[in-house]
Amino acid sequence: MATYDPNNVFARILRGEIPCKKVYESEHALAFNDINPATPTHILVIPKGPYVDMDHFSAEASEAEIAGLFKAVGEVARQAGVVGNGYRILANCGRDAHQEVPHLHIHIFAGRDLGRMIGKAPA
Ligand code: AMP
């Protein structure tokens, strides 16, 4: 399991060292707009605890933290007004998924037709 880097960009956002466009905060989660949005609505929901990725989080977070993160995702989507037309959630984990920031984050994409799921693997 990867070691948590306390100086990653989302850890710094959680400590208030760099700004974010916050849309939601609870005991266990923070949500803010993605700095480089891929869709008209593109929000990141992160746990407040120091977890590298979904593997780390699912193995070591408390049940309250896990429930808190997933409740936050649903609440953020409701508050953003995207439930009616629909949305997609995605969490990249590790190298093959091209995870860039080593603090677990769940993307919420919405605001346009998102197309189908990922493409087939190359032959
Ligand atoms: P991933 O490839 O799943 O690790 O996605 C990382 C995401 O974090 C990308 O969509 C970036 O645009 C986003 N991101 C990186 N730095 C910031 C930041 N300071 N504030 C908001 N979003 C960020």
CA of 46 to the centre of ligand 1 (A): 11
118 pLDDT above the threshold of 90? no
- What is the predicted pLDDT for the residue at 123? 67
DSSP for 21-89, written as a single string: -EEEE-SSEEEEE-SS-SSSEEEEEEESS---SHHHHHHHS-HHHHHHHHHHHHHHHHHHT-TTT-EEE
Residues with CB under 6 A from ligand 1: 9, 20, 32, 34-36, 44, 92, 98-101
- What is the predicted pLDDT for the residue at 64? 98
Pocket test for ligand 1, best of 39, 90, 100 (most atoms within 8 A of CB): 100
Q: What is the mean pLDDT of the chain?
A: 96
Catalytic sites, residue numbers: 105
1 pLDDT above the threshold of 90? no
Report pTM: 0.96
pLDDT in tens, 61-89: 999 999 999 999 999 999 999 999 999 99
